Amino acid sequence: MKKQVSLDDAGKYKAWRKALTQNGITVNKIEELHVQRRHKDGGVLYALLNIDAEAPEGTKLNPICFLKGDAVSVLVVLIDDETDDRHILLVRQRRICDGSELHEHPAGMIDDDDDQPIDVAARELNEETQLDVKPDELKPLFDRPLFSATATSDEALHFFYLERRMPLAEIQTLNGRKTGADDENEHTKLYVATLPEAHRLVHNIHGIMAHLLYLQLVGDYETLRLL
């Protein structure tokens, strides 16, 4: 059995504490309510913390933080090499938010031993979609990571996208394919959709953001009006 990494030694915890210090926050006490670790190496995945902390103005910060660290989200755009029609590759899986099966973009947390967010994004794509993707094929959708829930979590998302031209027959073979790592409790299926359909199917904020950022980036305002 791997030795468990203490919260104090976890990279995401140290990065969060450093950011608090840089922003003039005085931390009086931190209580670990729950820490979830990876089975394979004992590293910290996330933690629920009760905090007593004060801002420079003398006010108290919200006492609960769901510590997750940075993560990546990747919009996969598969382009029919004959018609130039765009297809979005989604991952379908059951989620704790309401227990339903949801359609999402490939995404993943950045671990302490990871190098760059773009490398994590390529790895997550390989694992979740079984596409062979190199980091230099990915492009940023935004120039900086964006916090997902500023009042309750430190999580910040790095947005990327992949455009790949493929024959339509190959794109269609991905639909319904089972993917995911059982040892990481990932039970997923792929789903191929048009961008307007994907926009209707996706129910998380960063997924909707990815569609809007991409269409703005490529200047496709006609499709944007259809959403």
CATH number at 210 reads 3.90.79.10
Query: Which regions of the chain are under pLDDT 70?
Result: 1-2, 114, 181-186
Range of the domain at 203: 70-226
pLDDT computed for residue 115 by the predictor: 74
pLDDT computed for residue 41 by the predictor: 81
pLDDT computed for residue 184 by the predictor: 60
Which ranges constitute the DSSP H helices of the chain?
A: 11-22, 117-129, 168-174, 195-201, 205-218, 221-226
pLDDT computed for residue 183 by the predictor: 60
Total tally of structural domains belonging to the chain = 2
Let me know whether 74 and 156 are in one domain.
Answer: yes
Domain boundary among 43, 67, 91: 67
Distance CA 221, CA 225 (A): 6
pLDDT computed for residue 38 by the predictor: 86
Long-range CB pairs of 109-112, under 8 A, 24+ apart, other chains included: 109/45, 109/46, 109/68, 109/69, 109/70, 109/71, 110/12, 110/69, 110/70, 110/71, 110/72, 110/158, 111/38, 111/43, 112/5, 112/10, 112/11, 112/12, 112/43, 112/44
Q: Distance of CA 70 to CAs 13, 37, 178, Å? A: 11, 16, 27
Let me know whether 49 and 63 are in one domain.
Answer: yes
Let me know whether 105 and 215 are in one domain.
Answer: yes
Residue 53 counted as domain residue: yes
Let me know whether 53 and 133 are in one domain.
Answer: no
Let me know whether 49 and 74 are in one domain.
Answer: no
| Tally: H helices and E strands in the chain | 6, 12
pLDDT computed for residue 170 by the predictor: 97
Residue 2 counted as domain residue: no
